[in-house]
Structure 1
Amino acid sequence: MSAKVTDQDTEKLIKDTAKRIFFGEGRFNATTQEIADAAGVNRTLINYYFRSRDKLFEIVFEDAQRQENELTEQIVFSDLPLKEKIARHLDSFFEQCKQYPYLEIYMVTQMNQGCAFKDMDKMSSLLDKFYLEIALEMERGTIERMRPEQFALNFISLMSFPVSMRPLLQETMGFTKEYYDLLLEERKEIILKTLFKQ
């Protein structure tokens, strides 16, 4: 029994290390040897558990994507008011970005290569509920009238653009890492004030 726990611990250690290297440090081309060294394990263990670096990359990415989707579903299908749902989503998004600043960039890259969400039915029902709540808030007068899809695009753009474009913006605008982190911390309140009238 203890050997099995050790196997699971080693597998998790490798996955966590790979996630930190790929999405925390942005080293998408890191070798299995670099991952093994960072995890403090023998390189053959990566092949034993994951067969190859590419397979490990794929598993780590799918895990990250699944966790993000599950959290989004949890928030959207909760009974919270729309503004509170968006506030919670912003909290979790920016918290994740602190830990894995390159995950969003990689997701965009994967989408451009045709790696889309696998469960489109679930995504469709999630969007339907989100759009309905947006429309109801427009009726209440708490947000500007527009197509619900436009509101969603505004929300996603205000949240994701500064993260996915971080390397370019930080470099061209001359921001230090610490100053850019501070700007991202201020985003939540700015986004809520931009999207909602009250």
Structure 2
Amino acid sequence: MSKQEKKDHTQELIKETTKKLFFVKGKFDATTQEIADEAQVNRTLINYYFRSRDNLVQIVFDEAHKVEKEKSEIILRSDLPFKEKIIRFIEGSLQTSLQYPYLETYIVSQINKGNCQKKDVEAADLKKFYKDIKKEMELGNIDKMEPIQFIFNMISLLVFPSAIRPLFMENMMISDKQFDRLIADRKDIILKMLFKK
């Protein structure tokens, strides 16, 4: 392994470890030392590669946010039939929730702190999506409502359980394994709630 390959490997290991601590284990306050210990690297390497813990966290968050944005583009920009776009978006969202159970919680916490760019959607894309929703309503495939209400319903059904995962798990006495199974089962439940046929 060349020096550059080793550097790239170490940087990737530190990023993946940070994602695991934050988005899989929900340890948002993990220190630089805890990240280094988990990655089995010297703490000084984190500062060497990323300058600071905050910078590392921002890079990891930006990468996770990019994945979320790409999922939205399936709905907004693809030429797939409407229901197929929604199915793919739901599948992608649920897959992310299973891979990174605390990602939604983290994103909500960052938005509340003002640390997150909120606008990801272009006006023209949104206008076209609203038009597609209205067309589906006219065809009788989904209940008639303001198009934004359809989006609220879909996002709420997808995101809310994961966003308050720790609260649900504690109050409903659900294990991580049980919660993951419930999330995996949500696709058909959500589709039945969104579509009439």
TM-score (norm 1): 0.92
Q: Which whole-Å deviations, capped at 9, do the CAs of 1:83-132 have from their partners, x for residues lacking one?
A: 11111111111111112111100101111122343655x44333223212
Q: Matched residues in 2 for 1:177 and 1:20: separation?
A: 15
Q: Give the C-alpha shift of residue 5 in structure 1.
A: 2.1
Identity across the alignment (%): 51
2:185 is paired with a residue of what secondary structure? helix
Change (3 A) 1:161 1:76: same
Question: 1:137-176 alignment to 2 at 5 Å?
Answer: 137-176=136-175
Relative to structure 2, which stretch is displaced further, 89-98 or 171-180?
171-180
Q: Is the contact between residue 75 and residue 89 of structure 1 (CA under 8 Å) also seen in structure 2?
A: yes
Q: Measure the CA separation in 1 of the matches of 2:138 and 2:116.
A: 33
Compute the displacement of 1:49 (Å): 0.8
The offset of 1:164, in angstroms, is 0.6
Counterpart in the other structure of 2:69? 69
Counterpart contact for 1:36–1:46, Cα < 8 Å: yes
1:110-157 alpha-carbon deviations (Å, 9 max, x no partner):
11122343655x443332232121111111110011000011001111
Deviation string 1:11-42 (CA, Å, 9 cap, x unpaired) is: 11111111111111011111111111211211
1:31-77 Cα shifts (integer Å, max 9, x gaps): 11111121121111100111111111111001100122023214431
Is the partner of 1:153 in helix, strand or coil? helix
- Output the CA distance in 2 between the equivalents of 1:13 and 1:124: 38
SS for the counterpart of 1:144 is coil
Distance (whole Å) between structure 1 residues aligned to residue 171 and residue 102 of structure 2: 18
TM-score, normalised with respect to structure 2: 0.93
- Structure 2 residue 46 is matched with structure 1 residue 46: yes
Q: Which amino acid aligns with 2:137?
A: M
- Please say if 1:181 is aligned against 2:180: yes
The amino acid of 2:182's aligned partner reads L
Structure 1 stretches of 5 or more lacking a match? none
Q: Would the aligned equivalents of 1:142 and 1:196 in 2 still touch at CA under 8 Å?
A: yes
Structure 2: segments with no counterpart, 5+ residues:
none
Amino acid at match of 1:30: A
- When the two chains are superposed, the root-mean-square deviation of aligned CA atoms in Å is 1.7
Deviation (angstroms), 1:192: 0.3
Which residue number in structure 2 is paired with residue 193 of structure 1? 192
**Distance in 2 between the 1:56 and 1:90 partners?**
29
How many matched pairs? Answer: 197
Alignment of 1:21-170 (within 5 A): 21-117=21-117, 120=120, 122-170=121-169
What is the alpha-carbon distance in structure 2 between the residues aligned to residue 46 and residue 79 of structure 1?
A: 42
Structure 1: distance between partners of 2:119 and 2:142: 30
**Contact residue 94 and residue 184 of structure 1 kept, 8 A:** yes
